[in-house]
Structure formats: C-alpha cells, structure tokens
A and B are shown apart, each in its own frame.
Chain A
Amino acid sequence: MEILEIAGVELEGVSACVPARAVDVVESLVPLVGDNAAGVVEATGIRTRRVAGAGTSAFDLCVAAAERLFAAAPDRAAYARSFGAVIFVSFTERTRMPSAAARAQARLGLPRDVLALDLLLACSGWVSGLHLAALIARETGRRVLLLDGDVQSARIGEGDASTLPLLSDGGTAAVVAPSPSAAPWRFAFMSDGAKGNALRLDDGGRISMDGFAVFKFVAGEVTAFLRDFLAAAPGGFDAFVPHQANMYMVRQLAKSLGIAPERLWTSGERLGNLASASVPATIAACAPAALRAGRTLDLFAAAFGGGLSAAAARLSLGPGARVELFDHEC
C-alpha cells in the first residue's frame, strides 16, 4: 500500500447543506414492502432521508453550503479572491457543460484565474477530492474550495426498495488552506473497476445497486484496506468518520477495525446516505460538539462504494475551523 503524505495544509472550514424536507423512511417504504418497512429501517438504521425539491441540483446545494463559509469571512470579496482552485465532486449533477466548477467560480465571485475542475466520482469522491485539493493548495499557496454533493432522490428507480431506504440529498463545501506548520495528512486509495457494475447509473440515469456485491466488497476488501492503512499510517485519532452507507455497516466496520463506539461519528440515522458528501456532512454534524478551544481534532476518514473504490485519509481539523450543518428550504 502506498501512503501519500501531504504537509502544509489545513481544513479551514466544512459546511453541509441538506434539504429541509426530511422523509420518514418507514412511511415511504410501506407502499413497497408493506409490514416489512419497520424491519428494513431497523436493519439499515437510516430513519429519515433528506429530499430536495424538484429542480434543485447538487450544484445549488453545494453553492449554498459555500455561501455560509464565505459569509463568515470578515471581507467576503477578499476571501473569495484568495482561492486558487475550485473542485466539484458529484455523479448526479444535471448540467455537465458548462461544468459546475466553472459555474461556481462565477456564482461565488472566485478569481478568473482559478483552476476549475469537475470530478465524476461517487462514494469515495470527497476523500479523493480532498487529496487533490491539498496538493493544489500546497503547490499554489492559495485556498482551494472543495464542493461535493448529490441529488440522488431524483435518480432512484420507481419501486426500488434497495436504494429508496438509503439514499439522500445534500451538498457540502470545504476549504483547504495553506498552513506551513500543519501536521501532514496521509491518504491511500483503492479501485477495483472490474466490480464496477455492482453500483452504477443505468442507461436511464437511475441508480442501480447490487447490494450484496457492494456489501461483500466493503466487508472484505475495504475492511482489509482500512486495516492496512491504519498499520501503515499509525497514530491515535479522535474520531473515525466513515461513509454513511448504512448504520449497520459503519458500526460493524468500526468494530472490525477495533475502533471504540465513542470514536465513531455518524449522521446517517437522520441524514441518510449522502453518497460522497456523507463524510464532510458527518464532520459538519459531529465536529461542533467535539471541537475544544485550542485543540486540533485528528480524524480518520474512510469512504467506499461506487467504482468500486475506497479511499482513506488521516487529516486534522483545527480549533479555528468553521464547521456547520444547516437545513435549506428547497
């Protein structure tokens, strides 16, 4: 396993925007599975999903999340000018051209000389995007805006009882900033495209999932990958932040890795599975209660799914980081 180390960057802020509409999963499942609905929710642990209104895109939710971070800056315009790149991660964004990153440059007032990139990635996308953002921030000495979101509800097949109880909508924004004295971050990645059809968009643009194949991948290869990562990138951490695939899986994964329940951060019970945005959304949901004055939080992030792929990161969140999760009427 190759460990990729990047020093001299910090996570300056993480904002997560979720639709205010919270759908009760049991109620939405009853028409599909009848009396089994409550049992399904007991198994997945996901009790409510966030669902965006018609016409709302991943871009809209991500920009709303970024606006919160920008609005908190003492001089919004100067803050916007300090960015050297914007990266947009999604697999559901409707408008492919112009790219969402380019649209974000205009909407947020970023400089015209920014590097604007869209990354077509699913569940492991935020960690991959974070790695790229860190590289760019270190090399350019400028801030990088990492946007990550999906509106999955519009891509759930009619009557698909395997994805309906899980998938949710949301958008996030994270700011990676140069910080010469910051401790190094460490990353590792894995891809197994031969198994890619287990989780894909079908020809109609609907999400198709072979749940057992994905489960098998996570239980076997991903668990081993994360165990190897922890061995190769040792050291304590304050919190384990996994992709919120379903709550059974994340709890069992933590247990298999020997991580105590109190160090496991979750948000999926009430936010659902937000695809790759679930890692930053979970940070946004859980970090405010854990951040203490003057103390940096060391995080272990693990993302896995579509690709099939997995990504792991050891990163830190400084005490001055702005972190928030908010509801958005849409």
Chain B
Amino acid sequence: MNAEREFLDFAAGLFGVDPSALSLATAYGSLPEWDSVMHLRLVMEFEAKYGVSIALEEVPAMTTLGDFFAKAGKGGA
C-alpha cells in the first residue's frame, strides 16, 4: 500500500466514510463529517500516527488532507 493510500484510509476511518470519497484535495467543510471537532481529532490522531507535532498556530492553515499528508513528510498535495 503506498503512503498516500494509507493516509487516505486513515482519514476515511476517522471520518467514518468510504476511502474512495477522499483525495488529497478534500478540504475542511467539504464533508459533513469534517467539522471543527473532527478537525481537532484529525490533528491529534495524525500526530500520534505519524509522530509529528503540529503547533497551534499551524492548525488553521491545514485545511486539506494534502496539507496533512505533506506534514507527514511522505508526499505533498
């Protein structure tokens, strides 16, 4: 499984949606499941899974799944 697919599967599991509904271009607010609380969950779960730290000031700018994937150092949007 490539890194992008693995990341999208991780996000789909968190959101409770089918992985085929997601891409790196999927943005905050484009899915009913991705609300502000889910955004916090995504940040926290992402930090735990990928071993990275996201500063508070960085979080508002991370609005697409591609922004997160780029932070993981495994690719970019």
Interface residues of A (CB under 8 A from B): 35-36, 39-40, 42-44, 161-162, 165, 210-212, 214-216, 218-220, 223, 246, 248-249, 252-253, 255-256
Contact = CB atoms under 8 A, between A and B. Distances in A.
Interface in B38-77: 38-41, 43-44, 55-57, 59-60
A215 B39 contact: yes
B60 A42 contact: no
Contact of A42 (B16, B39, B41, B56): B41
Given A36-B16, A43-B40, A211 B35 contact: yes
A211 B56 contact: no
Contact of A256 (B16, B39, B57): B57
Interface of B: 14, 16, 28-29, 35-41, 43-44, 55-57, 59-60
Main secondary structure of the interface of B (DSSP, over half): helix
A219 B57 contact: yes
Contacts of A253: 56
B60 A165 contact: no
Contact of B28 (A39, A43, A212, A252): A212
Given A36-B16, A253-B56, A256-B55, A212 B41 contact: no
Contacts of A214: 36
A40 B36 CA distance: 10
Given A42-B41, A212-B28, A220 B36 contact: no
A43 B39 CA distance: 9
Contacts of B56: 218-219, 223, 249, 252-253, 255-256
B42 to A, nearest CB: 9
Contacts of B41: 39-40, 42-43
A122 to B, nearest CB: 17
B59 A223 contact: no
Nearest to B44: A43
A43 B47 CA distance: 12
Given A219-B56, A223-B56, A246 B40 contact: yes
Contacts of A220: 57, 60
Contact of A215 (B29, B36, B55): B36
A16 to B, nearest CB: 26
13 contacts: A35-B16, A40-B41, A42-B41, A44-B37, A162-B37, A165-B37, A211-B35, A215-B59, A215-B60, A219-B56, A249-B56, A252-B59, A255-B55
Contacts of B60: 212, 215-216, 219-220
Contacts of A219: 56-57, 59-60
Residue among A44, A212, A219 with the highest chain B CB neighbour number at 10 A: A212
A218 B55 CA distance: 12
Contact of B44 (A42, A212, A223): A42
Nearest to B35: A162
Nearest to A248: B40
Nearest to B34: A212
Contacts of A248: 40, 43-44
A197 to B, nearest CB: 15
Given A246-B40, A256-B55, 6 more contacts: A42-B41, A162-B36, A211-B39, A223-B56, A256-B56, A256-B57
